[in-house]
Structure 1
Amino acid sequence: MADDDELDSIVMRLEQGLEVKDRRYRLKSYKNCFVGSDAVALMMSSGITNTEEDAVLLGNVLLDAGYIAHVLREHRFENKRLFYRFTKHEDHGAPASDASSWAAFLGSMNETDTDSDYARADQRRRSSVQASLDLETASQLSPMDTHNLALLSKVHPADWKNPEPKKAYDLVVIGAGAGGLVSAAGAAGTGAKVALIEARLMGGDCLNVGCVPSKALLHAAAVVAQMRNTKELADLGISVSGTVDVDFGKVMERMRRLRAEIADNDSAQRFTQKLGVNVYLGRAKFTGKREVVVNDDVHLKFQKCVIATGGSPRLPAIDGLSDAYQAQNPEHPLILTNESIFNLTELPARLGVIGAGPIGCELAQAFARFGSEVQLFARSGHVLAKEDQDAAQLVEDALERDGVELILDVTAYTRVHCDDKSVHVTVTRKDEPDHPVTYSFSQLLVAAGRRPNVGALDLDKAGVAFDDSRGVHVNDRLQTSNDRVYAVGDVCSPVQFTHASDFMARMVVRNCLFFGKAKFSQLIIPWCTYTSPEVAHVGLSRRVLDEEGKEYDVYEKPLAENDRAIVEGQTRGFVRILCKKHTDKIIGATIVAAHAGDLISEVTQAMQTNTGLGKLAAVIHPYPTQADAIRACGDLYNKTRLTTSVRKVLRNVIKVQRSGTRR
C-alpha cells in the first residue's frame, strides 16, 4: 500500500495532467471537476499504473484517503464519465442549487441517468407537453447556477399550475414580452378579465436575452475601457499601476445576478397575485376566430386577443450556416445569436460578428474591450446603415480605437463551416471578388436581423393574415384581418424596440377594449444604439430627407463646443436638430454623445407636445451639462430670426432708449 508521501506525489501528478473545470450534465452544473475515465487514462499513459484494474483500485484508495470525492458522494471511483473533485476544491464546488422548485425539478437527474431514466423521472410533471416545454425552456439558460435558477423560478416556475379557465376572457394575450406584459397589465388594471400565455420565459427578449443582459455587459466593458485608456488617465493626472485584468466569468455572473433581481417585475407570481391576470405557461394556438388552446388541452375563449409573440434571430441564407447551427454541440456552441451569447462563461479568444447593426456593433465593441480579437463583417460599407453617415462614422472610429477590425466591404458570404474547436467564415470582398478569403474564429455571433414568431400559432384558423417576413399584418390601429385580434411588438412592427412595444400595447388596450382610435403612425418613437459613444435618433434623418428630396433646416452643435463635454474629454459627437424649412417645427434629431439615449428624450418631448425649437432656447438647463447643447441649438434658430429688418428695428429701439436717458 502506498504511503502518504507517495499518494501526495500521485495526486500532484493527476492535478497537473487532468483537465479540471466546471462541467455540466443535462441541466446541472458542477464546479472544478475532472472525469473518472480521464483519470484512469492518465494513470495508465503516465506509468502510474499498468492496467485499468489497477487504476480503478488506486482511484478508490485516493477516494478512501480523502484526496478525491465524487461530486455527490454517490459513487466509488469508476472508469466512467463520472464527475470527481480534488477535495481541496470542495468548499467551492457544491453543485448549483436554489431554494426553488426548479432545483428540485432538475435535482431528479444526475450524470449517470440514461435517456430512459430521464423519460420516466419526476411524476410531478403535469403532462408530456408541459414537461417537454419546461425542459426546453430551462435549456435556453446556461450555466444552471443559483442566479439562473432564481430567474427561472420567477419567469417560468417549474411547479406552475395553469389556472382553470374562465368561461370567457375580455382579453387573451399571447406572449409575455414587453408588449404582452403591458397589454395584460393595462387591461387588468381597468377591471378586464385577462389571460396571459407564454411558452418560454416571461419578460421576453428584453429581460432575458436583450436590453437587460446586454447593458450589464456594456457597462462592465465601458469601465474596462476607461481604466485602460492610459493617455486620458495621464491627462487627468491619474496613473494605474499594473495591468487591468478582466474576469469574464465574474462579469457574466454579475449579469445573471442582476437579471434575476430585475425579473421580479415580470414574474408569473406578480402578474397573478398582484395584477389579477390568469397566467398560462404553454404553447398557444388558435382554434377559431375567438378561441385559443394552450398545450393542446386548455381552451380559452375571448372577446378580444393581442398577439405579442415577438421575434427571433434570423440566420441569413449562407451556405452551411443553418446546418452548422443546428448540428453544433449545445454545451459549447460555436455559432451564437443574441439568445445564446449571454450564456457564455469563457471569453472567446477570437470572435467573428456578422451584422453591423445595433446588436452587432454593441457586442463587438464590448467583447473587444474585454480582450477578444473581434472582426465585424457587413455588406453596407459602413456600420449602422439606418443612421446618418457622419454619425455612423463616429461609431466606426470608436470601434477601431477599441480594436475591432471592420470588414465592411463584403460582397458575399460564401460559406460557414465548423470543426471541433473553430468556426470558419468564407467571404468575397469588393476589391477582390474572385479571391474568397476564409476567417477562423473561436465563436461566431450572427446579428443579421430578426424574423417574426408567427409559424406555430395556426393563424389561418383565426383568419389572421401574415407572412414570414413582415409577420402579422395590421392596420394603423394595430388591428389584424380578424377585427377581434390585434398585434403589438416585433411580431408586426417595422421598428423593433422594447419601448415601441410598450406604447403599442398601451394604444391597443384603448383601441380594443374602449373603442379607441389611436394610430401607430402617430407615435413618435426614438431609438438608441448603446455603443460608446451612443447614437440616438428620433423622427426623420438627413439621410431620409435627402433621399426624398425634401427641404429642411439644420441646427447643429458639436460637443467640442460644449463645456461639460470638454472638461470630461467627451468631445466626439454632436447634437443635430432638423426643422421644417423656415420654421422651428422639429421634424427629427440625431445625437451622438456618451449619454445620447438620455439626451434624446428632451427633443422627443418637444416633438410630442409640438414645442418649437425656439422655445427650447428658453428652457433653463443646469450648467454645465451636455444637454445644454440642445438649448444651444434653440439659440441658433433664434439667431436666424434676426434678419436685417429686425436688426434695424432693434437698433432704432435702442436709440430711443438712449435719447430718453439723456433727457
Structure 2
Amino acid sequence: MSETAHRNATMEPRDEHNQRLLSLVHPHDWTNPAPKSRYNLVVVGAGTAGLVCAAGAAGLGARVALVERDFLGGDCLNFGCVPSKALLAAARAVAAVRGAGEFGVRVSGEVEVDFGKVMERMRRLRADIAPNDSARRFRDLGVDVFLGQGRFLDAHTLEVGGARLSFAKAVIATGARAAAPAMEGMDGLPYLTNETVFSLTGLPRRLAVIGAGPIGCELAQAFARFGSEVLLFESARGVLPREDREAAAIVRAALLQDGVKILGCGKSQKASAAEGGGIRLQSAGEGGGIRLQSAGEGCDVVVDEVLAAAGRRPNVEGLGLEEAGVEYSDKGVRVDDHLRTTNPDIFAAGDVCSPYQFTHAADFMARTVLRNALFRSRARASALTIPWCTYTDPELARVGLTEAEARERGVAVETFTRELAHVDRSILEGRTDGIVRIHVRKGTDRIVGATVVAENAGDLIAEISLAMTNGIGMGRIANTIHPYPTRAEAIRQAGDAYNRGRLTPLVRWLFGKWLSWTL
C-alpha cells in the first residue's frame, strides 16, 4: 500500500495463469463505486488482516469500504504462503524420488527437474485459490472495494482515486515488504525478494540467499533440491536464530544434507558486479574471507542471483498517517494491546504493527480488531496464543516460550523431550530427524511453550496450541488416546514422561504399601 511497497513486484510471466490471477485480485476493468456518505469501517490494505476485517464487518451488517493499491490477497496469496508452499511441495517430491532407494524403490538415471513446469504449476494453483480473495467476491459480500492508493486526509477521512471516504472507524492493514539487504555495494545491483522470486522461469545456476530465517531457509532448501548451487548466508546467531538451538541444528543439518552451503557472514559483507556477469559477494570473517562452514575456507563467491531474505519493513509510507494522528516508526504502526493506534478511532492489524508476521496471526488480530472497533470490546492481542512453523524439511514449529526465553523472563520450567528416533511411525518412515519438546511451569502441568521438529510439525503443534489456549495440561494430554502409529504419539509420550515425574519416592513407597496390603 505504500509508495514503495511492491515497487519491484510483477506478475511475470504474462501467461494465462497470471492473467487469470490479475483478473481476480486487480481487474484492469474495475470501476470504483460511488462512496457512501459514511462508513462504519474503512479498511486500508487487502491482505489477510484486511480481508478478514472487511468480510467479518460486512457479515455483521456494517457499511464497509476496502482500499487496496496493489493486489487483493496481499503477500500471502501473491508472494508468500501460497506460491512458496507450492514450490516446497515440488521440492519434497524431488527429494522423495532421490531417496526412494532406501525403501527398495529403484529409480534409473538422474532425476531431472523441469523448473519451468514447477513454476507453471505454482502459478496455476495460485490462480485457482485466488477467487476467495477476489474483488468481485468482496463486492458480492457487500463491501465497497476501491482500487488505488489510499491516504488519510484527517482523523476520519481517507481519500482514494479522488473519492473521499468518511468513516467512524478505520483499520490499517497495509502489511510489510522485504527489507533491502544491508550490504555494502548492493545499491544499484539487481536482487530477488519474495515479491520477485516467484516470477523466475529459469533455475539460477548459483543462488545466494541473504538471511537464514524462515523464508531464507525454506527457499534455500527448495532451490538446492531443484539443482541450484545455493549459498546461504547466516547471521552471527546462526540458522533460525529465534528458535530452540537444538531444533534449529536439526534443520541446519538437513539443509547441509540437501547441498546448501552455509556461510558465516563474518564482520562485513560487500557486493559488486562480477566480470562476465553475476554478482560478486565478499565477506571478512574472523580470519579474513568467508567462513564457508560446510565446505572449508573460501575468500569470495560469484553468483547469478541474490535473494534478500533478511527481515521485513512495514508499509507505512504515503498513507498520510500524520494527518490522521497515527504514530508510527520504521518498526510499524504503534498500537496498544487492543490494537488501537494513537487515534482512538483507527486500529491496525497484521504485519504493519505486529512482531508475529504470519498469515494466521494477522487473521486473529483482525478478529480482535472487529470486536474492539465495532462493539467497544476490550479484547487483547496479548491473549492470543500464536504458533508458527518454518516449512523446511523437516518442519520446525513453535508455540510459546523456548527454555532460554523462559529463563530470561524468570519463569521456572520443566522440559520434556521426546526424540522421533524413539517414535515407531518415524522409524518406519525413515524420518527420525526430529523432536517434540514441551515446557511446563515448574510445579504444575501448565504448558508455557513447545517446539516440534518433524515432517509435519506444523500440524502437530496445533494440538499443543489447543492445549495452551484452553488450559489443558500435560496430565490430560497423557490421558488422551492417540492413534497408533502416528508421530502425534510423541506428544502423548511427553505427557507420560510428565506423569512419571510425579511418581516421587514417597508416592512410590505409599503405592507399594497399598499394594502389599491388598495381596
Cα deviation, residue 143, structure 1: 0.2
CA contact (8 A) 1:538 1:604 kept: yes
CA contact (8 A) 1:537 1:600 kept: yes
Letter in 2 for 1:152: L
CA contact (8 A) 1:199 1:284 kept: yes
Among candidates 214, 217, 223, match of residue 358 of structure 1: 214
Letter in 2 for 1:304: K
Structure 2 residue aligned with 1:384: 240
User: CA distance change for structure 1 residues 397 and 434 in 2, over 3 Å: closer, same or farther?
Assistant: closer
SS at match of 1:336: coil
Cα deviation, residue 434, structure 1: 11
Cα deviation, residue 403, structure 1: 0.4
Cα deviation, residue 652, structure 1: 2.6
Structure 1 residue aligned with 2:318: 456
CA contact (8 A) 1:411 1:433 kept: no
Asked whether 1:291 is paired with 2:144, we answer: no
Measured in 1, the distance between the counterparts of 2:149 and 2:353 equals 19
Structure 2 residue aligned with 1:38: none
Structure 2 residue aligned with 1:103: none
CA contact (8 A) 2:9 2:196 kept: no
Structure 1 residue aligned with 2:136: 269
Cα deviation, residue 419, structure 1: 6.2
Among candidates 549, 568, 581, match of residue 442 of structure 2: 581
SS at match of 2:318: coil
Asked whether 1:257 is paired with 2:129, we answer: no
Cα deviation, residue 649, structure 1: 2.1
Letter in 2 for 1:263: A
User: CA distance change for structure 1 residues 317 and 241 in 2, over 3 Å: closer, same or farther?
Assistant: closer
User: CA distance change for structure 1 residues 244 and 501 in 2, over 3 Å: closer, same or farther?
Assistant: same
Q: Which has the higher helix share?
A: 1
Structure 1 residue aligned with 2:366: 505
CA contact (8 A) 1:318 1:416 kept: no
Measured in 2, the distance between the counterparts of 1:276 and 1:589 equals 41
User: CA distance change for structure 1 residues 456 and 420 in 2, over 3 Å: closer, same or farther?
Assistant: farther
Cα deviation, residue 437, structure 1: 3.4
Structure 2 residue aligned with 1:346: 202
Structure 2 residue aligned with 1:222: 92
Structure 1 residue aligned with 2:481: 620
Measured in 1, the distance between the counterparts of 2:211 and 2:455 equals 23
Structure 2: gaps of 5 or more residues: 292-297
Structure 2 residue aligned with 1:413: 269
CA contact (8 A) 2:206 2:230 kept: yes
Percent identity, please.
52
Measured in 2, the distance between the counterparts of 1:173 and 1:319 equals 38
Measured in 2, the distance between the counterparts of 1:534 and 1:489 equals 23
Cα deviation, residue 379, structure 1: 2.5
CA contact (8 A) 1:289 1:461 kept: yes
Measured in 1, the distance between the counterparts of 2:427 and 2:269 equals 43
Structure 2 residue aligned with 1:128: none
Which aligned pairs between 1:120-139 and structure 2 lie closer than 5 A?
none
Measured in 2, the distance between the counterparts of 1:178 and 1:585 equals 32
CA contact (8 A) 2:172 2:347 kept: yes
User: CA distance change for structure 1 residues 434 and 204 in 2, over 3 Å: closer, same or farther?
Assistant: closer
Cα deviation, residue 620, structure 1: 0.6
Measured in 2, the distance between the counterparts of 1:475 and 1:418 equals 48
Deviations 1:486-512 (A, max 9, x none): 000110111110100000000000001
CA contact (8 A) 1:452 1:490 kept: yes
Measured in 1, the distance between the counterparts of 2:166 and 2:274 equals 48
Give the structure-1-normalised TM-score. Answer: 0.75
Measured in 2, the distance between the counterparts of 1:454 and 1:156 equals 21
SS at match of 1:181: helix
380-389 vs 214-223, which moves further: 380-389
SS at match of 1:299: strand
315-324 vs 574-583, which moves further: 315-324
Among candidates 172, 193, 211, match of residue 63 of structure 2: 193
Which aligned pairs between 1:463-474 and structure 2 lie closer than 5 A?
463-468=325-330, 470-474=331-335
User: CA distance change for structure 1 residues 138 and 472 in 2, over 3 Å: closer, same or farther?
Assistant: closer
Structure 1 residue aligned with 2:107: 240
User: CA distance change for structure 1 residues 502 and 416 in 2, over 3 Å: closer, same or farther?
Assistant: farther
Structure 2 residue aligned with 1:46: none
SS at match of 1:205: helix
Structure 2 residue aligned with 1:178: 48
User: CA distance change for structure 1 residues 434 and 202 in 2, over 3 Å: closer, same or farther?
Assistant: closer
CA contact (8 A) 1:286 1:292 kept: yes
Measured in 2, the distance between the counterparts of 1:268 and 1:155 equals 6
User: CA distance change for structure 1 residues 137 and 282 in 2, over 3 Å: closer, same or farther?
Assistant: farther
Deviations 1:181-224 (A, max 9, x none): 00101111100000000000000000000000000000100110
Measured in 1, the distance between the counterparts of 2:349 and 2:414 equals 34
Deviations 1:24-53 (A, max 9, x none): xxxxxxxxxxxxxxxxxxxxxxxxxxxxxx
Structure 2 residue aligned with 1:323: 188
Measured in 1, the distance between the counterparts of 2:121 and 2:230 equals 23
Deviations 1:388-410 (A, max 9, x none): 11111111110110000000242
Structure 2 residue aligned with 1:493: 354
User: CA distance change for structure 1 residues 371 and 651 in 2, over 3 Å: closer, same or farther?
Assistant: same
CA contact (8 A) 2:42 2:64 kept: yes
Give the structure-2-normalised TM-score. Answer: 0.95
User: CA distance change for structure 1 residues 150 and 471 in 2, over 3 Å: closer, same or farther?
Assistant: same
Structure 2 residue aligned with 1:483: 344
Cα deviation, residue 546, structure 1: 3.2
Deviations 1:64-89 (A, max 9, x none): xxxxxxxxxxxxxxxxxxxxxxxxxx
CA contact (8 A) 1:613 1:634 kept: yes
SS at match of 2:336: coil
Letter in 2 for 1:185: A
Structure number with greater CO (CA < 8 Å, separation at least 6) is 2
Measured in 2, the distance between the counterparts of 1:565 and 1:549 equals 35
Measured in 2, the distance between the counterparts of 1:405 and 1:270 equals 45
User: CA distance change for structure 1 residues 414 and 300 in 2, over 3 Å: closer, same or farther?
Assistant: same
CA contact (8 A) 1:291 1:300 kept: yes
Structure 2 residue aligned with 1:394: 250
CA contact (8 A) 2:44 2:150 kept: yes
Measured in 1, the distance between the counterparts of 2:375 and 2:89 equals 42
Letter in 1 for 2:477: L
Letter in 2 for 1:354: I
CA RMSD across the alignment:
1.7
SS at match of 2:159: strand
CA contact (8 A) 2:265 2:283 kept: no
Structure 2 residue aligned with 1:116: none
User: What number of residue pairs does the alignment pair up?
Assistant: 509
Cα deviation, residue 580, structure 1: 0.3
Measured in 1, the distance between the counterparts of 2:275 and 2:360 equals 40
485-494 vs 372-381, which moves further: 372-381
Structure 1 residue aligned with 2:461: 600
Structure 2 residue aligned with 1:39: none
Structure 1: gaps of 5 or more residues: 1-132, 326-334, 659-663
User: CA distance change for structure 1 residues 434 and 422 in 2, over 3 Å: closer, same or farther?
Assistant: closer
Cα deviation, residue 545, structure 1: 2.1
Letter in 1 for 2:107: V
Measured in 1, the distance between the counterparts of 2:200 and 2:15 equals 13
Cα deviation, residue 521, structure 1: 0.9
Structure 2 residue aligned with 1:70: none
Structure 1 residue aligned with 2:81: 211
User: CA distance change for structure 1 residues 139 and 387 in 2, over 3 Å: closer, same or farther?
Assistant: closer
CA contact (8 A) 1:383 1:408 kept: no
Among candidates 405, 411, 416, match of residue 544 of structure 1: 405
Letter in 1 for 2:157: E
Letter in 2 for 1:422: G
Measured in 1, the distance between the counterparts of 2:174 and 2:343 equals 17
Measured in 2, the distance between the counterparts of 1:428 and 1:336 equals 23
